[in-house]
Chains A and B, each alone.
Chain A
Amino acid sequence: MTETAVSETPQRLVAVIDIGATSVRMMIAQIRADGEVSHLENLSQAVKLGRDSFVSGRIRRATIEDCVRVLKIFRRKLTEYEIARPEQVRVVATSAVREASNRLAFLDRVYIATGFNVEPFDEAQLHRVTYLGIRPILDANPELLAGQTVICEVGGGSTETLVMNDGRVTFAQTWRLGVLRLIHSLEASDVGQPNSRRVLESRIAQTAKQIAGVVNRREPVRLIAMGSEMRLAVQEISGGIEALEIVDVARLREFADQILRLNPDRLVTRYQLSIQEAESLGPALLINAMIARRLELETVHVARVNLRDGLIKEMLAGRQWVGNAEEQVIDSALTLGRRFSFDEAHARHVARLGVELFRQTTALHQLPDRWEIDLHLAALLHEVGLAIGERSYHKHSQYIIRNSVFFGVSSRELNLIALVARYHRRALPQRTHDVYSQLDQDDRVAVSKLAALLRIAKALDAGRNQSVQEIRAVRAGNTLRVEAPGLTDVSIEQLELRRQQELFEYVFGLNVELSAKPGFV
C-alpha cells in the first residue's frame, strides 16, 4: 500500500455546522462517488444564544466566547479528518444570531478566533435548505407528493412551515412562535405555575390557527413534522427510528403532557439532553400536537432530517439550487412576472440566452456556478417594472424584485438579483449608487458581470421574436465572437448589441461581435 492510494480516495468529506438557539451542532459526512451521503460524526454542544437573543436582543460576551470555545473544538475535529478547504465546510447561524443586534460583532469574533465564515441564514434560506433536506424523503415516498402537505419545524425562535401542493412549494412562512421565545415570555409575564399551561396553550393556539388559515381546507392535508423533539417522541412512543415515521396525534399529545409534567432534570438523564433541550422538549411537542389538531389530523408524519442534511445536499451539488428546487424558484419568478403582465416569451428567451452565455463564458467571467440562477431570475424579471411605467422601468423592476418573496431566496440574494435586473439598461453600475455601493467587492463585481451578460442576452432578442435560437460564443483576441447559427440576418440584434455592449467592454475589456452563420443549426 502506498501513500498515493490514500489520497486517491474518491469519497469527499464535508462538514456543516449549525449555530442554533440552544446548541451548536456539527455533522461530518462523507459523500461517496455514487453520491450517497453517510454521516461520520455528529457533535452537539449546548449554548445559550437563544436565551440571550430572544430575551435581551443581544448576545452576551460570555455566550459569544462559549460559542467560540465550541467552534474551536469542532475545528480540531475537522483537522483530524483533514477537512480544511473552505468549500468543505459550511457554517450557518439561524434566528438567534440573525436577530441579535450585535450579530456583526458575533460574526467577526467567530471569524477572528476560528477562521469560520458564518453565514447568518434568513428565513428564505432556511426554507430552501429545509426543502432540500426533506426532498429525498418525499421522493422515496411518492404518495406524499400528491395533494396538500404542510411541512413544519418548530425551533427555538420560530416555527417554519412550507405548504406544498402536488410536490411544489406554494407557500413558505416563518411564524414567530419559538419554544425559547415561548418559555421566556411565560417567565417574563410571571404567570403562576397553574396558569402557565393555559397561557402556553393560548399562545400556541393563535399561531396554529394562522397556520391552518393558509391551508386550503377544502382539500385533504397531511403534516410532516421535523425536529429533534419529534424524533425523540416517535422513538419513545413507537420505537420508530426510520427516516419517515407516523405517529398518532392523540398519543403525541399524551406524551407531550407526560413530558410537561416531568422535571427537566429528570429529562436530562432519561433522554441524555442538555438542560435547555430538556426544557424545550415539552413545549415543542405541544406546538406540533396543537398544529396537528388544528388541521384536524389523526396522525403526523415525522421526518428524520434536519437543517444539516439540507446543507450537505447543497454542498453535494456545489450550488444552492438542486434539481427540482431550481424549478420551484423559477416557477415562483414566472408567477411574479405574470402578476405584472410581463412579456413572458421575451423574458424566458432572454433568460435562456443569458444562461447559455453564462455557461459558454465561464473562462471569462470565472464566477461560481451558483450565480447562474441569479442571472436566470434577473433575466426573467428584468422588465417587470414596465407595469409601473416606462420611465426608469429598470428601477421599478429592481424595486419590485427587491420587495417580493420567493420561495427559498434569501433577502441578500434577492437584492443582488434586483441589482442585476436594474443594470440591464441605462446607467452603468456606479459607486455613487446607494445599494450597489453597499455591496462588498465580490458581489459588486459579480453584479456587474451578470448585468453585462444580461445586456448582451437582451440585445440578442432585440426583435422580440426569439429569432436567435442558438448561440456560440468564442473568444478571439480582444473580441468575444457570438455566432448565431442558422440565421442570415441579425442586423437588428447587431445594432442593439452595439448600444448595449459598453458595460461588457468595461467589465471584461472585450468587444462583442455578433455574426450570422447561415446553414443548419
Chain B
Amino acid sequence: MNDFSNRDQLYFNRELSWLEFNHRVLGEAMREETPLLERLKFLAISGSNLDEFFMVRVGGLLMQSTGNPEKTGIAGMNPDEQLVRIRDRVRRMVDDQYRCLNEQLLPGLAARGIRRLKIDELDHHQMEQLRKQFDEHLGSSATPIALVDEGDFPLMIGTSLAVCFRVQGPQLRPSTGDDGSASLKGNERVVIVPVSRGVPRYFPLSVTEGFGFILAEDALIEFGDHFLPRQRILETAVFRVTRNADVELDEEAAADLLIGMQAMLLDRNSSPCVRLEIEAAASPEIVAFLQSLLDIGADRTWHVPGPIDLSACMELATGPRLRDLKFEPWPGQPLAGYEPGQDVFDFIAEEDRLLSHPFQNYDPVVDFIQAAATDPRVIAIKQTLYRTSSDSQIIAALKTAAENGKHVTVILELKARFDEKRNIDWARQLERAGVDVIYGVRGLKTHAKLCLVVRREPTGVRRYVHFGTGNYNEATSRLYTDMSLLTCDEALGNDAVNLLNAVTGLSSPLPMHKLSAAPSHLRERFEELIDVEIANARKGRPAMIQAKVNALVDETLIDHLYRASGAGVRIDLNVRGICCLKPGVAGLSEKIRVVSIVDRFLEHSRLFYFLHGGDHLAFIASADWMNRNLDRRVELLVPVEHPACSRRVIDVLRTCLGDNTRAYELQPDGEWQPLEPGKEVRLRAQEHLYAEACEEAHRAARQSREMFRPHRASG
C-alpha cells in the first residue's frame, strides 16, 4: 500500500509533464517512416513550443523565484527546485533536437538535394544572387547597434536572432565620444546586428540539382562590412535572447483596456531575459560579455550546436515542393448531406449537425456565419473570437453583417496570449465596420467558442448556435482536431443568449438549463457528473468516464478522479499535453488509464463521456481540466443530445482512446510508453477518422448522384 499522506507524491509536476509532451512532439521528428519535411515541421514545432515555454513558464517561475520563492507547485517543488529540474530536462531535449537535425534531418535532406550551402563554396553567380537578396532583405532593414560599455546596452528589440560582431577600428558614433570607458581592450568594440522579424531565414540559391540555401546569419556575417565600414571584424557569434512574456495586464488599473494592452506589449519587449542562446563556437570572451550585458548567468545560457531558433525550420519545411517528402494530403471532407450553396439554416433546422475537424472541412461553419451576414431574416449575430486566422473570412463576414445593418456583437479576447496585437487590429477594423466589440470580461479570459445567430422566421424568432472546441480560425481548422455542433435547439439557444448577455454586461448571469459555464458552474458540473459515476460504482452498477483534454492539471478534479477510481469507476483519459494525474497507482488510481496522441494533426478537441447509469452523456467543451479554464476563464461545456451526434462524439472518443500506433501511455512513474499494436488490430486514430470521413462523404455523394433533383423557380 502506498503512503498518500504526502500530497506532493500524488501528482506529477506540470512543467516536467509539459516537457515530456514536447519530447513526444520531437519523437515525431525522429520517426523514420515519416516524410522528411514533415519531420522537419515537427522539429520546428518542438522548437517554437520550447520558446513559448521559456517565455511563459520559465519566465513565470523566475519571477516567482524572486517574488515568492517558497510557493510550491502541484508536486510540491518550489520555483528554484523546478528551474533546476527543468534545466536538466531541457538540456537533454536540446541535445536530442540538434542530434535529430544534424544527424538525421539535414543529411537526409542533403541526400534529396536540399542542402545548406557554405559561403566559401559559392560560385560567382550564386554570390551575386545572395548579395541581391541581402540588399533586399537585410541591407536596408537591419540596424547595427554599437555597444561601447555595458551600461550602454539598449533595449534589443524582442527576441529575434542577432549577430554579435567584435570589431576593431575607429569610432562608429563619434558624437557619443567618451571612448575611455570601453569595456573591451584597446579600440575594440562590440556591435550587434539584429535580424529583424519578417526577414527570411533561408536565402535560396540556384543549384544545379535540388534546392540550396544560405542561412540569413551566414549572409549577414559575410556582408558584415556593409554595416561596419573601416572596421576589422575580429570575431562573430550568432545569438538570441528570450524574454519573459508572462507579463499580464493589471486590468483593474487599466482605464482603457485597448490602450493598456498596447502598453503591455511594449513592456514585453523590455522584460527580463530568461534565456540566452549562443552558437557553440562562440568564444568565452564574447559569451562572458553578452552574459554580463544581459545580466544573465551561465545557468540561463545555452550553447547551441547548430542554427539557433529551430522554429524557423518551418520556413524550410514549407518551401520545396517535393511531394514525396510531405504527407499525402488529407483534404477535409464535406459533411454528408451538406452541399455548398444550400440554405445552411434549413440544414441545421432539420436536425443538429456535428462536425469533426479537420477530417470534415470547416465550410459549413464559415457558410453559417457568411449566410447570417446577408440573410434578410437575420437580425443579430453574436460571437466570441479568441484567435483567428490572418485573412479570416469570418471577420469579413462579421463586417459585412454590420454593414448590412445587423446587430453584430463580437467578444474579442484582447488577452489571448501572443495574439494580443493581432486582436487589437481586428478590434479596430470591426469597430469601424459598426460591430459592437467587447474586449472580453474583466478578470476573465473569454475562451468559450460560440456563435449565435438570431433569425426572425415566419413562425417566430429562432436562434441558431455554433458551439466549438476550437477557435474560429480557418487555418487551424485544417490542422487541429476539433468538433463543431450546429444546432437550433431552443434550450441551448436560450442558454447561449443568457451567457452572451452576461459576458457582454447586459445581464447578470442567469441559471442555465443545458450548458454549463465557467467560472460560475463548470467545476461543480464536472464534479456532479463524476459523483454520479462514483455513486453508481458504489452500488455495483456500471460506471465509466472517458475524456479527451489537452491538459489535466486541476488538483481538485484530479482528487475527484482518484476518488472515482477508488470507488471502482473505470476512467479512460486521452490527455494531449500536461497530465499531473498519476495513473495506475495501486490504492490511488488503478482504474485510471491515460494515453496521449501525437500525430500529424494537433489534438485539440475536448470531449467527455459519462456512462451516467445508462444515459450515456456526451459533451464537447472549450475547457481543459486546468484551474485557469475552470476558474479564470469563460468556458462552456455543451451537451450533445441528438442521438446520432452524441454517438459520433462517443465514437471519436473511443477511437482516440484506442490508438495503438501514434499513442503513448502514461506510466505510474511518469514515463510515456509508446504503444504498439502487438496482437491487437492496428489503429491509428487520425487515419481511421479520416478514412471514416472520406467514406461517409463518398457514400453521400453516391446517394446524391442516384437522385434526380429538379431545379425549381424560387419563391
Could you tell me if A13 and B498 are in contact, using CB atoms closer than 8 angstroms?
Answer: no
Could you tell me if A81 and B379 are in contact, using CB atoms closer than 8 angstroms?
Answer: yes
From B379, B461, B498, B511, contact of A271 by CB (8 A):
B511
Interface residues on B, range: 20 to 34
- CB neighbours (8 Å) of A269 from chain B are 520
Could you tell me if A270 and B510 are in contact, using CB atoms closer than 8 angstroms?
Answer: no
- CB neighbours (8 Å) of B379 from chain A are 80-82
- CB neighbours (8 Å) of B375 from chain A are 1
- CB neighbours (8 Å) of A232 from chain B are 511
Nearest Cβ distance between residue B633 and chain A, in whole angstroms? 15
- CB neighbours (8 Å) of A8 from chain B are 458
Could you tell me if B380 and A80 are in contact, using CB atoms closer than 8 angstroms?
Answer: yes
| B460 within 8 Å of A (CB atoms) | yes
Could you tell me if A272 and B510 are in contact, using CB atoms closer than 8 angstroms?
Answer: yes
- CB neighbours (8 Å) of A81 from chain B are 379, 461
Once A1-B376, A6-B456 are accepted as A-B contacts, the answer to whether A42 and B461 lie under 8 Å apart by CB is no
- CB neighbours (8 Å) of A79 from chain B are 407
- CB neighbours (8 Å) of B9 from chain A are none
From B461, B509, B521, contact of A11 by CB (8 A):
B461
Could you tell me if B376 and A44 are in contact, using CB atoms closer than 8 angstroms?
Answer: no
The listed residue with most B CB atoms (<10 A of its CB), out of A32, A45, A235, is: A45
- CB neighbours (8 Å) of B457 from chain A are 9
Nearest Cβ distance between residue A294 and chain B, in whole angstroms? 30
From B456, B460, B505, B513, contact of A38 by CB (8 A):
B460
| B259 within 8 Å of A (CB atoms) | no
- CB neighbours (8 Å) of B713 from chain A are none
Interface residues on A, range: 35 or more
| A41 within 8 Å of B (CB atoms) | yes
Q: Is the interface of A mostly helix, strand, loop or mixed?
A: mixed
- CB neighbours (8 Å) of A262 from chain B are none
Q: In the complex, which residues 321-378 of chain B have their Cβ closer than 8 Å to any Cβ of chain A?
A: 375-377
Q: In the complex, which residues 493-540 of chain B have their Cβ closer than 8 Å to any Cβ of chain A?
A: 494, 497-498, 501, 505-511, 513, 520-521, 524
Could you tell me if A274 and B407 are in contact, using CB atoms closer than 8 angstroms?
Answer: no
Could you tell me if A272 and B460 are in contact, using CB atoms closer than 8 angstroms?
Answer: no
Could you tell me if B507 and A272 are in contact, using CB atoms closer than 8 angstroms?
Answer: no
| A30 within 8 Å of B (CB atoms) | yes
Could you tell me if A274 and B508 are in contact, using CB atoms closer than 8 angstroms?
Answer: yes
Could you tell me if A73 and B506 are in contact, using CB atoms closer than 8 angstroms?
Answer: yes
Measured CB to CB, the nearest residue on chain A to B378 is A6
Q: Roughly how many angstroms separate A30 CA and B379 CA in the complex, as a whole number?
A: 15
| A39 within 8 Å of B (CB atoms) | yes
- CB neighbours (8 Å) of B509 from chain A are 272
From A2, A44, A272, A274, contact of B521 by CB (8 A):
A272
Could you tell me if B506 and A46 are in contact, using CB atoms closer than 8 angstroms?
Answer: no
- CB neighbours (8 Å) of A11 from chain B are 459-461
Could you tell me if B376 and A6 are in contact, using CB atoms closer than 8 angstroms?
Answer: yes
Contact with A along B440-481 (1 / 0, CB 8 A): 000000000000001011111100000000000000000000
Q: Roughly how many angstroms separate A241 CA and B514 CA in the complex, as a whole number?
A: 12
| A476 within 8 Å of B (CB atoms) | no
Once A3-B376, A41-B497, A82-B379 are accepted as A-B contacts, the answer to whether A10 and B458 lie under 8 Å apart by CB is yes
Q: Roughly how many angstroms separate A5 CA and B456 CA in the complex, as a whole number?
A: 10
From A2, A3, A46, contact of B508 by CB (8 A):
A46
Contact with B along A292-324 (1 / 0, CB 8 A): 000000000000000000000000000000000
Could you tell me if A42 and B459 are in contact, using CB atoms closer than 8 angstroms?
Answer: no
Once A1-B377, A11-B461, A45-B507 are accepted as A-B contacts, the answer to whether A241 and B456 lie under 8 Å apart by CB is no
Once A41-B497, A81-B379 are accepted as A-B contacts, the answer to whether A272 and B511 lie under 8 Å apart by CB is yes
Could you tell me if B501 and A43 are in contact, using CB atoms closer than 8 angstroms?
Answer: yes
Q: Roughly how many angstroms separate A95 CA and B511 CA in the complex, as a whole number?
A: 25
- CB neighbours (8 Å) of B407 from chain A are 79-80
Measured CB to CB, the nearest residue on chain A to B377 is A6
- CB neighbours (8 Å) of B498 from chain A are 42
Could you tell me if B506 and A32 are in contact, using CB atoms closer than 8 angstroms?
Answer: no
Measured CB to CB, the nearest residue on chain A to B380 is A80
Q: In the complex, which residues 27-76 of chain A have their Cβ closer than 8 Å to any Cβ of chain B?
A: 30, 32, 38-46, 73-74
- CB neighbours (8 Å) of A46 from chain B are 508
The listed residue with most B CB atoms (<10 A of its CB), out of A46, A81, A241, A270, is: A81
Nearest Cβ distance between residue B107 and chain A, in whole angstroms? 59
Contact with B along A264-275 (1 / 0, CB 8 A): 000001111010
Q: Roughly how many angstroms separate A272 CA and B379 CA in the complex, as a whole number?
A: 29
Nearest Cβ distance between residue A10 and chain B, in whole angstroms? 7
Could you tell me if A241 and B461 are in contact, using CB atoms closer than 8 angstroms?
Answer: no
Q: Roughly how many angstroms separate A13 CA and B456 CA in the complex, as a whole number?
A: 10
| A464 within 8 Å of B (CB atoms) | no
Q: Roughly how many angstroms separate A271 CA and B508 CA in the complex, as a whole number?
A: 12
Could you tell me if B459 and A32 are in contact, using CB atoms closer than 8 angstroms?
Answer: yes
- CB neighbours (8 Å) of B456 from chain A are 6, 9
Could you tell me if B507 and A39 are in contact, using CB atoms closer than 8 angstroms?
Answer: no
Nearest Cβ distance between residue A22 and chain B, in whole angstroms? 11
Contact with B along A1-25 (1 / 0, CB 8 A): 1110110111101000000000100
Nearest Cβ distance between residue B152 and chain A, in whole angstroms? 53
- CB neighbours (8 Å) of B520 from chain A are 269, 272
Could you tell me if A45 and B508 are in contact, using CB atoms closer than 8 angstroms?
Answer: yes
Nearest Cβ distance between residue A425 and chain B, in whole angstroms? 51
Could you tell me if B460 and A44 are in contact, using CB atoms closer than 8 angstroms?
Answer: no
Q: Roughly how many angstroms separate A45 CA and B504 CA in the complex, as a whole number?
A: 12
| A77 within 8 Å of B (CB atoms) | yes
- CB neighbours (8 Å) of A3 from chain B are 376
- CB neighbours (8 Å) of B497 from chain A are 40-41
Jot down 16 A-B pairs with beta carbons below 8 A, ordered by A.
Answer: A2-B376, A6-B376, A10-B458, A32-B460, A39-B494, A40-B461, A42-B507, A43-B506, A44-B507, A74-B506, A80-B379, A80-B380, A235-B511, A272-B510, A272-B511, A272-B520
Residue ranges of A at the interface with B (Cβ–Cβ < 8 Å): 1-3, 5-6, 8-11, 13, 23, 30, 32, 38-46, 73-74, 77, 79-82, 232, 235, 241, 269-272, 274
Pairs of residues from A and B, 6 with the lowest C-beta to C-beta distance, nearest first: A43-B507, A11-B460, A80-B407, A272-B509, A30-B460, A272-B520
* Apart from A3-B376, A41-B497, 14 more pairs, CB < 8 Å: A1-B376, A1-B715, A9-B458, A11-B459, A11-B460, A40-B497, A43-B501, A43-B507, A44-B508, A46-B508, A81-B461, A82-B379, A272-B508, A274-B508
